[in-house]
Every structure is written in structure tokens, then in C-alpha cells.
């Protein structure tokens, strides 16, 4: 899933400019991605586009309490990165919930920070959120090299 998401971001900078699902599925298959992974990834992306995040009302001083399974799955690095993005006003509470939900779908436990950053980037990309260049650079930094 992560490889497909990176490929899509690299090749379709504007989320709304990406081809329709059927065409995109053929293109991804031609590039060499497996049909099962393509279907799961595109279903996830289509779900992001269809389901608008519900803005959560509440006191700005309130805190999100993570379930035990969320803490185990996300690990310290991902939870810390969520806190960083919230403090930088990149993630709203509604977008945070989409990020957590997306990360919970990954197989690894805990989710590697590099993969988590791609989930965050894809959610922000699919929502066409304006991003500062430094935030994009941070999201693309996998700790070893920059994706491009």
C-alpha cells in the first residue's frame, strides 16, 4: 500500500488530477503493482475522498486519549509525530482521526514512522490541504533519504 501511495503522490501532485479509478488501476498494474494491493489502496483512497471528516467540537485544551491497541500500533514515534503536527496546526482533530484510522490498517506493529508519514501525507493530499514546504519535506523524510 505504501509503495502505491508514494507512486501516486510522485506522479499526480494534484489529487483531483489523478485519473478515474478504473484507468488508474490499469496504469498501476502496468507499472507492476499487484492487483490485490492496487484494489485495497484505491478503495482506501476513494473512501478518503467520499467521507468528509466530521469536525470535532470541543475545548482546545482537551486531549485525545488513545486506546491501548492504538498506542501499541502507533508506537511512541507516530504518537509524537501526531502531537507535532497538531501543535503546528497541520492536523485538525478530524484529520487526526483519519490519520489514526489509516495507520491502523497497516500491517506493521508498531507502524514505522516513515510509513506513518506517508499515510499523513496522503490524507492531507486527498483533502487538498495547503502545506508549508517544510512540512512536506518532513513528511517525505523517511530518516534515510527523501522520497522523490
pLDDT of residue 79: 97
Q: Report the C-alpha dihedral over residues 13, 49, 86, 144, rounded to 10 degrees.
A: -40
| Residue tagged 496546526 (cell numbers) | 89
Residues of the chain with pLDDT under 50: 145-148
pTM above 0.95, yes or no: no
Instruction: Take residue 20 and report the three cell numbers written for it.
Output: 478515474
Residues in the chain: 148
> Residue 53 in contact with residue 94, Cβ under 8 Å?
yes
Extents of the domains making up the chain? 2-140
pLDDT of residue 55: 63
Non-local (6+) Cβ contacts of 68 within 8 A are none
pLDDT of residue 125: 86
pLDDT of residue 148: 46
> Residue 123 in contact with residue 7, Cβ under 8 Å?
no
Non-local (6+) Cβ contacts of 41 within 8 A are 1, 4, 5
Instruction: Take residue 121 and report the three cell numbers written for it.
Output: 501525507
Non-local (6+) Cβ contacts of 5 within 8 A are 41, 45, 118, 119, 121, 122
Give just the sign of the alpha carbon dihedral 140, 55, 108, 67.
positive
> Residue 138 in contact with residue 124, Cβ under 8 Å?
no
Amino acid at each position: 500500500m505504501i509503495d502505491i501511495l508514494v507512486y501516486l503522490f510522485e506522479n499526480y501532485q494534484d489529487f483531483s488530477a489523478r485519473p478515474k479509478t478504473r484507468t488508474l488501476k490499469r496504469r498501476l498494474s502496468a507499472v507492476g503493482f499487484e492487483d490485490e494491493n492496487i484494489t485495497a489502496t484505491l478503495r482506501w483512497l476513494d473512501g478518503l475522498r467520499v467521507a468528509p471528516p466530521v469536525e470535532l467540537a470541543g475545548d482546545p485544551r482537551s486531549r485525545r486519549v488513545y486506546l491501548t491497541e492504538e498506542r501499541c500500533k502507533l508506537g511512541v514515534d507516530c504518537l509524537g509525530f501526531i502531537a507535532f503536527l497538531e501543535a503546528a496546526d497541520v492536523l485538525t482533530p478530524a484529520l487526526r482521526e483519519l490519520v489514526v484510522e489509516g495507520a491502523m490498517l497497516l500491517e506493521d506493529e508498531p507502524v514505522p514512522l516513515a510509513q506513518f508519514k506517508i499515510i499523513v501525507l496522503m490524507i492531507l493530499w486527498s483533502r487538498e490541504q495547503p502545506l508549508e514546504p517544510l512540512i512536506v519535506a518532513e513528511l517525505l523524510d523517511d530518516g534515510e533519504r527523501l522520497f522523490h
